[in-house]
Amino acid sequence: MEIAANPPLTGARPANDRAELSALARLAGPLVGANLLQMAVSAVDVIFVARLGTVDLAAATLGVFMFNLSMYALIGLTSAAAPLIAAELGRRKHAVREVRRSVRMALWVGAAGALPVLLILAHGETLLLLAGQDPEVSRRAGRFLDIILIAIIPGTAAGIMRTAAAALGRPGWAFVVTGLALAVSILTNWMLVFGNLGAPALGLEGSALASVISLTAMALAYAAIFRFDQRLRRYRLFGRWWVTEWSRFREIIRLGVPIMLTWIFEGALFGGAAVLMGLIGVNEVAAHAVALNIAAIAFQVPFGIAQAATIRVGMAYGARDRDWIARAGRVALILGIGFMGLTAAAIWATPRLFVSAYVDVDAPQNAVVVGLAVQYLALAAMFQLVDGAQAVAAGVLRGLQDTRVPMLIALFGYWVIGFGTSILLGFQAGWAGVGIWTGLAVGLLAVSILLMWRWYARERLGLLPRTA
């Protein structure tokens, strides 16, 4: 006999906003920490390879970008399991069986989606040559990708299990496992890149192999957690893994493809901005990289809140409790926008302090880059609020299983309004890098306004379930 579990973080409707805030914070905190650690994991390969020379550094940078973009897409695709699991827990009916089906089919979707990704990465050298990259850099990056592509399947599986653990009330494991992956990545890079502790000095290829080991370690760690954690093992998530559930498979694809495309549209917007910066000058590219990295670190907080909000709103959606839906969304939006307001104030007040973490702000040779980075950060401070708003608004809408229209909003806002404004102001108006960053801010503002409107018009648009 299967008994539906009800972990503390997936409990009944909160009595007030304070109770909802407490539940959201306990869920979001570990996810935010895991997101920040994941950024460090992604940076380790490049940091170690930087000592091997310019060609290998360029190859690692391109290879890591292609791999991370592919992994990001697959995790976005399979993240549709989060609102489905949350809704099942909210309904409290056959939760064990339904949760297991969602996780199992998310793993199937991830495996199916990995096949074309593996084919693309296996032709990395050809793709980079077609993109006009240096032949030697393309060759080295292709070799890097030939090895690291092995990590696509365990990396995707780890992402799915992380989502499931958070939705089932164990978000702390995401922080622990990502910390483990960071430690393994640092150790294996140190061993395999430079040949320490008796390991062969494999250079660039050693860094790729280190990524394979660290992501496989993540997947194995999550598998062990689901097997031995007293609260999670009752779901028996790997039981009957071969059994198909095509309706659930299609549901994950229906919700997941728009999420994947939304994430790609946003990531590609900032990548496209870097390309535009390259048309202006080297100093602009360097300053853009510094400012964007600072903004990306701050963004991990509302992104983690958005992930938690999807679960909280999803549970309320499954319970068909409209008051709870409203409360969960309201609290998440206030928390996300409020935090970004603090980061905006900090960046606005002390931009040089943030830039000093990346370059020596007092060195004369860095004066131009520092000056440009400070200008871009002034604009970044302005869009911190709207960036937080659009991230959390997208998260609460995902809790309502509303993903297709938000994807279209992202496409229009980021690429028609945002990128179009960057080109217009950066080149036609002659504002250069400031114009490009203004376009980014305008695009984020447009998306945040449209997503917020959709959230507050949810009843009129028919996005709510019938009242229980």
What stretches of 319-418 show up as alpha helix (H) in DSSP? 322-349, 351-355, 367-399, 404-410
**Nearest one of 264, 269, 293, 299 to 417, comparing CA atoms:** 269
- pTM comes to 0.91
Question: Which residues, at least 6 apart from 150, have a Cβ–Cβ distance to it below 8 Å?
Answer: 212
- Token pair in block for residue 424: 């217009």
Planar angle of CA 412, 294, 275, nearest 5 degrees: 50
> 439 and 419 in contact (C-beta within 8 Å)?
yes
The answer to whether 405 touches 262, Cβ cutoff 8 Å, is no
CA–CA distance, 219 with 162 (Å, rounded to integer): 9
**317-336: string of b/e by CB count within 10 Å (b at 16+)?**
bbbbbbebbbbbbebbbebb
d(CA 49, CA 36): 21
- CA-to-CA distance for 439 and 441, rounded, in angstroms? 5
How far is the C-alpha of 288 from the C-alpha of 310, rounded, in Å? 31
Per-residue confidence (pLDDT) for residue 195, from 0 to 100: 95
pLDDT score, position 458 = 97
Token pair recorded at residue 250:
């299609």
Question: Quick one: tokens of 96?
Answer: 């064990």
- pLDDT value at position 5? 37
- Cα gap 375→351, rounded to integer Å: 9
**Which candidate, 327, 431, 343, places its Cα nearest to that of 387?**
343
Give dist(CA 122, CA 79) in Å, integer. 25
**Rounded-to-integer distance, Cα 179 and Cα 187, Å:** 12
The contacts of residue 258 (CB under 8 Å, 6+ apart) are 403, 404, 406, 407
- 201 neighbors 57 (Cβ within 8 angstroms): no
Structure tokens at 459: 């009843």
Q: How many CB atoms lie within 10 A of CB 405?
A: 15
Compute the CA torsion angle 344, 348, 353, 357 (nearest 10 deg).
50
Sign of the dihedral defined by the CA atoms of residues 376, 381, 383, 387, in that order: positive
Q: Is the dihedral of CA 370, 374, 377, 379 positive or negative?
A: negative
Q: What are phi and psi of 366, to 5 degrees?
A: -100, 5
63 phi, psi to nearest 5 deg: -65, -45
- Tokens standing for residue 330: 């309201």
Buried b (16+ CB within 10 A) or exposed e, 266-301: bbebeebbeebbeebeebbbbbbebbbebbeebbbb
* Distance in angstroms (rounded) separating the CA atoms of residues 72 and 260: 8
Q: Residue 122 in 3-state DSSP?
A: helix
Q: Give CA 102 to chain center in angstroms.
A: 21
Please give the Cα distance from 220 to 100 (Å, whole number): 18
According to the model, what pLDDT value does residue 334 have? 96
Burial of residue 116 (CB within 10 Å: 0-12, 13-18, 19+) is exposed
Question: Tens-of-pLDDT digits for all 468 residues of the chain?
Answer: 333 333 444 456 787 999 999 999 999 999 999 999 999 988 887 788 888 888 888 888 888 889 988 999 999 999 999 999 999 999 875 578 889 999 999 999 999 999 999 999 999 999 989 988 889 989 999 999 999 999 999 999 999 999 999 999 999 999 999 999 999 999 999 999 999 999 999 999 999 999 999 999 999 999 999 999 988 988 888 877 888 889 999 999 999 999 999 999 998 898 889 889 988 988 898 898 889 889 989 999 999 999 999 999 999 999 999 999 999 999 999 999 999 999 999 999 999 999 998 888 999 989 999 999 999 999 988 888 899 999 999 999 999 999 999 999 999 999 999 999 999 999 999 999 999 999 999 999 999 999 999 999 999 999 999 875
Confirm if 380 and 294 have CB atoms less than 8 A apart: yes
SS3 363: coil
Query: What is the rounded distance in angstroms from the CA atom of residue 109 to the CA atom of residue 393?
Result: 26
Query: What pLDDT sits at residue 8?
Result: 42
